[in-house]
């Protein structure tokens, strides 16, 4: 049986981009005989990233794939990204100034049995959209969003460990965890439960590409790594770590 490689994340892990080959594609090519299942999508928050991973793992287990034939890799996104499931469009979603939210297939879906796209993505950088800006004005709380991100991570961690599935985690930038908020008493006790032995030895792929990679960003004004940087990252960080764990 070929190993199933299930990956998740935001734009740094999105494999639908025709111009940039991100780290999951490079990793799948390196593993050669794996079956790639890439769930990363631009602007995704950690809630929907975690749900997609759990859903795909459960799907393949139900198809008869054994846990030792699954490898999971997740690159966590910004805590201030959010998502909701809704039977109807949130107020203001159909406003004429919603181009920003449609850049990343918003709304979206991931459960095969549901034909409707009912997951709505919130992004703090989308300023024109009413339902998005209203949420950040009225409900956004940085402590709460750090707490939720850690809960999403722990849910996936405990799920995979309970099934003895090999996995690794990382961050798209060092903004995933903030010392200011992880030390908060409402957050600290959960943060201390994260198994950082399963994280790659970097603060974020962006920082690694900026400070270590021999390749430059395609656009100096854009923090997204290029194909060469993603490949360099897999070759020098991901692959050695997987080998050290005996996962490949």
Quote the CA–CA distance of 181 and 188 in Å, as a whole number.
8
Quote the CA–CA distance of 230 and 217 in Å, as a whole number.
10
Domains recognised in the chain with CATH numbers? 4-79+141-245 (3.40.50.1110), 81-139 (no CATH)
Per-residue pLDDT of the chain (248 residues; tens, 9 = 90+): 689 999 999 999 999 988 899 999 999 999 988 999 999 999 999 999 999 999 999 999 999 999 999 999 999 999 999 999 998 877 666 544 555 555 567 889 999 999 999 998 888 887 667 677 888 888 889 999 999 999 999 999 999 999 999 999 999 999 999 999 999 999 999 999 999 999 999 999 999 999 999 999 999 999 999 999 999 999 999 999 999 999 99
Type and span of the H or E element at 171:
strand 166-171
Number of other CB atoms surrounding residue 246 within 10 Å:
7
Asked if 82 and 45 touch (Cβ cutoff 8 Å), the reply is: yes
């Amino acid at each position: 049986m070929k190993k199933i490689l299930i990956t998740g994340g935001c734009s740094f892990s999105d494999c639908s981009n025709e111009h940039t080959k991100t780290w999951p594609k490079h990793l799948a090519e390196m593993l050669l005989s794996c079956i790639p299942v890439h769930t990363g999508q631009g602007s995704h928050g950690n809630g929907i990233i975690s749900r997609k991973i759990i859903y795909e793992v459960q799907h393949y287990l139900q198809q008869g794939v054994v846990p030792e034939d699954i490898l999971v890799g997740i690159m966590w996104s910004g805590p201030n990204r959010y998502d909701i499931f809704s039977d109807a469009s949130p107020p203001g979603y159909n406003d004429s100034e919603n181009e920003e939210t449609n850049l990343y297939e918003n709304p979206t879906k991931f459960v095969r049995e549901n034909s409707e796209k009912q997951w709505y993505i919130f992004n703090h950088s989308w300023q024109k959209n009413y339902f998005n800006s209203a949420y950040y004005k009225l409900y956004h709380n940085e402590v709460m969003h750090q707490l939720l991100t850690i809960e999403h991570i722990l849910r996936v961690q405990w799920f995979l460990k309970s099934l003895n599935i090999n996995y690794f985690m990382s961050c798209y930038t060092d903004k995933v965890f903030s010392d200011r908020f992880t030390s908060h008493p409402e957050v600290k006790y959960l943060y201390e439960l994260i198994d950082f032995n399963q994280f790659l030895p970097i603060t974020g792929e962006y920082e690694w590409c900026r400070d270590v990679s021999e390749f430059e960003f395609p656009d100096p004004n854009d923090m997204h790594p290029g194909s060469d940087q993603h490949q360099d990252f897999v070759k020098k960080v991901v692959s050695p770590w997987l080998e050290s764990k005996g996962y490949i």
